[in-house]
Structure 1
Amino acid sequence: MEIRKKRHGVLAAGFVALIAGVWACGGEDARADSSSAGDDVTAESAQESDIPDAILGKAPAPRGEDLAYFDADPSTVGYIVAPEGDGPFPAVILIHEWNGLVDRVRQVADALADEGYVALAADMYSSRIGTNRDENMTLMQEAQADPDRVIANLDAAASYLRGRDDVTGKVAAMGWCFGGGVALSFALGGESHEGTAIFYGRLIEDPEVLASIDHPVYGTFAELDGGIPPDQVNRFAGALREAGVENDIHIYDDVNHGFWLWVDRDPETAAAPAADAWVRLKSYLSRVIG
């Protein structure tokens, strides 16, 4: 198994500010693409059939298995699912929203397995799930209070995946809301990996900090998101470009925070941009991990 060295010097002001920021889920130059369409597919052509059943609320029960992957905390129980066949396959770590590892995230892992990826849905809350805003906030703040533990958790997930016989060794991380900010934190302070996909997660705008990222970055954001507004996303995209980090960052019109993972809450508005973001995600993962 290839040993990946941790990038030192990144767990400093920028990284700590990001991981400790308040993640609430509920510029002209170098700006992000702001549209309901990606490079290869228009919103008008995106149909519900292009969207995984998981984010439409139509997926069957999760078919994978629970997995205790973090030796430092046996109560950390993630979810693992693999494609059919012997592989080897590339791998993806999924990082949940602020409420914890719920079945919707497991079902997205199943959808990624259908696309040919070994998918590990990480557990950042030691098997706990929030059932309301107060509980979600408490769990999130507890995780924020120990950024080293957050990164150690994801390092363990990546190490587990690379140790599997059916994994190529290439790993990407993706997350939504709280998990999107954590995915960016992992790109800055975790073991080296090949991809980061951020869905409306907390951002950093310092190109000197972002320059430590050694792989392309994907981002999907929402025009109506008051917590991570378009001007902040545009500054993030500009900082990535200034740092020399290849990126595919899109802001989708007329949708709000959380639109992708929960299309079924507003399918008329969210279906087309979610389908486009899914096509972009699959293209991105194919490029960075195969």
Structure 2
Amino acid sequence: MSGKRLLLLLFGTANGACNMKTSLQNYTSNTTTCQGYLAYDETKCTASSKCPAVVVIQDWNGMNDYEKERARMLANLGYVGFAADIYGFGTPAESMTDWMAASGMHRGNPDLYMAKINAALDKVKSYDFVDMSKVAVIGYCFGGTGIVNMAILGSDVLGVVGYHSGIQNTSRVMRSSSSGPIKTKILLHSGVRDDKATDVAVLEEEFEAANATYEIQRFGLGVMHGFTDFLGRAYDKRADVRSWASTERFLKELFLGMPDVVRGPESASLNASLQNYTSNTTTCQGYLAYNHTKCTASSKCPAVVVIQDWNGMNDYEKERARMLANLGYVGFAADIYGFGTPAESMTDWMAASGMHRGNPDLYMAKINAALDKVKSYDFVDMSKVAVIGYCFGGTGIVNMAILGSDVLGVVGYHSGIQNTSRVMRSNSSGPIKTKILLHSGVRDDTATDVAVLEEEFEAANATYEIQRFGPKVMHGFTEWSGRSYDKRADVRSWGSTEFFLHELFLGMPDAVRAPEDSNCSGVAAATTMAPGSVTVTKVKGTMALDVPSCKAFTEREGAVGAVAAGIANATGVDVKSVEVTLTCSRRLTSEGVFARRLEEVNGAYEITVPEGSATITADSVSSAITTAGSDGLTTKIAAAMTAVGITDIVVKVNSISTPTASTFVATTTTVSTTNAAASATTAGGTKAAVAISFADRPRTVMSAMAAIAGVWAIAK
């Protein structure tokens, strides 16, 4: 919604129907006492009917309500969920300084980290209702680093899943630390504005060398570290929803086996026919498939156009069209080359595909002609059209996106994304309007070409996702009879496509949540409250920081957080209440022959003042910043950087602005709790449902939510 950000704090009431059992569980790792959190359905997971188990490894601020909720979400899927306590019971985890110290101690000592993870695994395997042969591990942030370490060091769990994992060489173990094969399957979810493309490329090569079965999903636009943290400043609903759905499919694969390949044989239940149409003076012959009992003039269906691979529109594309029809859509395989164009030999394929790749206007005209034909059917909902493409067709859908097509979404499989095959962003100056999903083999598209495309998509404000499959997944991995066919990449990419089409045509599903008082389907009991309001006060300001390289500084893990921690330490507020934005510029330190150019970081900060605090006010925060001055803030930020192990970058606060305070009203609106609830208990044990609508706020105010969530209790 333009001009507004809607934030939800939804608290459910118990309905007494849940069979989920939850409890804190003590266990030890060497001499350290740890306290994990267990969640499972005690009616389904028993000694005589054992369940698979999934261990959750915490992010850097310790095992808390977030990990507990993820454990309950896993229990809702029929698994035993266990949130591990890596730091150990009683380890301070209240401030960023604490988190830096505890996470740094484990990142710097992989043996200690692995011992803590293994202790949690041993605890889980000790339960008589757990199937010890079916165990997986998922991890967030710091925990994501842990699951990468597990894989590289040879863990024998069935699979590991990471979200916004720390994959930099300085954060994780390297492949040189282990010479054996990687046995566990790996699924990583990565924000394009979190993990650098170069770090992803290094990890891919290590996984390839170890013959690992893995998948790395990259999310854009502007998806940053912490994108799954429901109440975090960087939360991205789409990346959260899609990564969790991907995880659900992955866990089913681990515990139930790889699903059968989806196919679309000819069927009497479908109307299927060849369809002639024209593109300028070229006669084309497409292939239409749909269920005529469901798709009618009075009950129109979404349509998906299939763009052929380089050997022409043939039985392969026809079957994909029928697969789409079986999903309830109108499937249409387009004929790009035109009826009668030779497509019998590789020489023919090279000639026809080259003619279209070399002439994007011609290629787009052929695609648009197919779209016009599809939209002419009275049983097609013209507002709900998507396009998928294979190989040569994958190049076509990338061109469509870059050149500004207005279809709802495009999907590519082993697409030709090299600069020499597709149009470049320089060919179009407008925004990319269509959503994009690309499936790529690590041994097909180079990491460099993927990185270039990501940057073009980011610059064009595109909503996109790129999935990379390994090991040794090559071009043509979805071609059932091809030499490069890869069943797993085919199954996973089609499952992802089904979910993507659902998003395009029915809307983005709600984020899955599991409040403490939910029934075992994860849906909270409905509750409402009357509209109200709460006053939020913020202190804002700017500062200029001198650094040798702005890019190196802002992309360094922990650096931006260190700036926020320095400001928090100077003002006495919780670091969760500090929001920092950094941009780059340059300045000369002097003139003439001795001039030296320093890169300057322009920092903007926004501090949410805790409501009702007697000691922390807008005046006290503003005064603390002014009193600290440039030198004081330099010292605070430097200390925070040292705490996270950044000792090779020297930062100096060059100047600060006079802080300003502003107050606005957050209005509460009536809501009903459904599948997106966060659990919280007021001081008196009362549960409430609250929706906070921050009107006319130009930026996301997740820090305000974090500040309010812990102190705001309403008892009616």
Task: Tell me which interval the TM-score lies in, with the shorter structure as reference length.
Answer: 0.7 to 0.9
The letter for the 1-side match of 2:276 is A
Which secondary structure does the structure 2 equivalent of 1:135 belong to?
Answer: helix
Alpha-carbon distance between aligned partners in 2 of 1:264 and 1:138, rounded to the nearest angstrom = 21
Alpha-carbon distance between aligned partners in 2 of 1:111 and 1:288, rounded to the nearest angstrom = 17
The CA deviation at 1:199 is: 1.2
Structure 2 counterpart of 1:259, from 474, 477, 481: 477
Summarize the alignment of residues 22-171 of structure 1 with structure 2, pairs less than 5 Å apart. Answer: 29=196, 35-36=214-215, 39=243, 40=246, 41-42=249-250, 44=254, 47-49=258-260, 51-54=261-264, 59-60=265-266, 64-70=272-278, 72-73=280-281, 75-84=283-292, 85=294, 86=296, 87-127=299-339, 128-169=341-382, 170-171=384-385
More strand by share: 2
The CA deviation at 1:134 is: 1.4
The letter for the 2-side match of 1:53 is R
Contact 1:29–1:238 (CA under 8 A) maintained in structure 2: no
Alpha-carbon distance between aligned partners in 1 of 2:300 and 2:455, rounded to the nearest angstrom = 36
The letter for the 2-side match of 1:222 is G
Alpha-carbon distance between aligned partners in 1 of 2:425 and 2:283, rounded to the nearest angstrom = 35
Alpha-carbon distance between aligned partners in 1 of 2:442 and 2:462, rounded to the nearest angstrom = 23
Contact 1:222–1:256 (CA under 8 A) maintained in structure 2: yes
The aligned residue for residue 18 of structure 1 is: none
The CA deviation at 1:79 is: 0.8
Q: TM-score, normalised by structure 2?
A: 0.33
* Cα displacement string for residues 53-110 of structure 1 (whole angstroms, at most 9, x for unaligned residues): 25xxxx3489611111225235311111113423311111111111100111101100
The CA deviation at 1:206 is: 4.1
The CA deviation at 1:248 is: 1.7
Contact 2:308–2:389 (CA under 8 A) maintained in structure 1: yes
Which secondary structure does the structure 2 equivalent of 1:173 belong to?
Answer: strand
Contact 1:46–1:275 (CA under 8 A) maintained in structure 2: no
The CA deviation at 1:235 is: 3.0
The aligned residue for residue 14 of structure 1 is: none
Alpha-carbon distance between aligned partners in 2 of 1:281 and 1:149, rounded to the nearest angstrom = 27
The letter for the 2-side match of 1:104 is Y
The aligned residue for residue 12 of structure 1 is: none
* Cα displacement string for residues 201-226 of structure 1 (whole angstroms, at most 9, x for unaligned residues): 2336648948631021000000111x
Alpha-carbon distance between aligned partners in 2 of 1:150 and 1:178, rounded to the nearest angstrom = 11
CA 37–46 in structure 1, closer or farther in 2 if over 3 Å, else same = farther
Q: Over aligned residues, Cα RMSD in angstroms?
A: 2.9
Summarize the alignment of residues 176-255 of structure 1 with structure 2, pairs less than 5 Å apart. Answer: 176-189=390-403, 191-203=405-417, 206=425, 209=428, 212-225=431-444, 228-254=445-471, 255=473
Structure 1, unaligned runs of 5 or more: 1-26
CA 239–64 in structure 1, closer or farther in 2 if over 3 Å, else same = same
Q: TM-score, normalised by structure 1?
A: 0.77
Alpha-carbon distance between aligned partners in 2 of 1:259 and 1:52, rounded to the nearest angstrom = 14
More helix by share: 1
Alpha-carbon distance between aligned partners in 1 of 2:477 and 2:370, rounded to the nearest angstrom = 27
Name which one, 1 or 2, has greater alpha-carbon Rg: 2
The letter for the 2-side match of 1:93 is V
CA 210–176 in structure 1, closer or farther in 2 if over 3 Å, else same = farther
* Cα displacement string for residues 144-175 of structure 1 (whole angstroms, at most 9, x for unaligned residues): 34432321222122222223221111111111
Alpha-carbon distance between aligned partners in 1 of 2:407 and 2:345, rounded to the nearest angstrom = 33
Which secondary structure does the structure 1 equivalent of 2:284 belong to?
Answer: coil
Structure 2, unaligned runs of 5 or more: 1-191, 205-213, 218-242, 507-716
State how many pairs are aligned: 255
Alpha-carbon distance between aligned partners in 1 of 2:363 and 2:291, rounded to the nearest angstrom = 27
Alpha-carbon distance between aligned partners in 1 of 2:336 and 2:257, rounded to the nearest angstrom = 33
Q: Pick which of 105-114 and 197-206 moved more.
A: 197-206
Q: Pick which of 83-92 and 138-147 moved more.
A: 138-147
Alpha-carbon distance between aligned partners in 2 of 1:282 and 1:141, rounded to the nearest angstrom = 31
Q: Pick which of 241-250 and 215-224 moved more.
A: 241-250
Contact 2:412–2:439 (CA under 8 A) maintained in structure 1: yes
Contact 1:154–1:190 (CA under 8 A) maintained in structure 2: no
The letter for the 1-side match of 2:443 is L
Structure 2 counterpart of 1:281, from 497, 512, 525: 497
Which secondary structure does the structure 2 equivalent of 1:279 belong to?
Answer: helix
Alpha-carbon distance between aligned partners in 1 of 2:286 and 2:492, rounded to the nearest angstrom = 28
The letter for the 1-side match of 2:392 is F
Percent identical residues: 22
Alpha-carbon distance between aligned partners in 1 of 2:216 and 2:481, rounded to the nearest angstrom = 16
Alpha-carbon distance between aligned partners in 2 of 1:71 and 1:179, rounded to the nearest angstrom = 17
The letter for the 2-side match of 1:120 is F
* Cα displacement string for residues 241-269 of structure 1 (whole angstroms, at most 9, x for unaligned residues): 343211121010021100013366466xx
The letter for the 1-side match of 2:287 is Y
CA 164–257 in structure 1, closer or farther in 2 if over 3 Å, else same = same
Alpha-carbon distance between aligned partners in 2 of 1:83 and 1:238, rounded to the nearest angstrom = 40
Contact 1:48–1:271 (CA under 8 A) maintained in structure 2: no
Q: Pick which of 178-187 and 122-131 moved more.
A: 122-131
The letter for the 1-side match of 2:407 is H
Alpha-carbon distance between aligned partners in 2 of 1:118 and 1:282, rounded to the nearest angstrom = 14
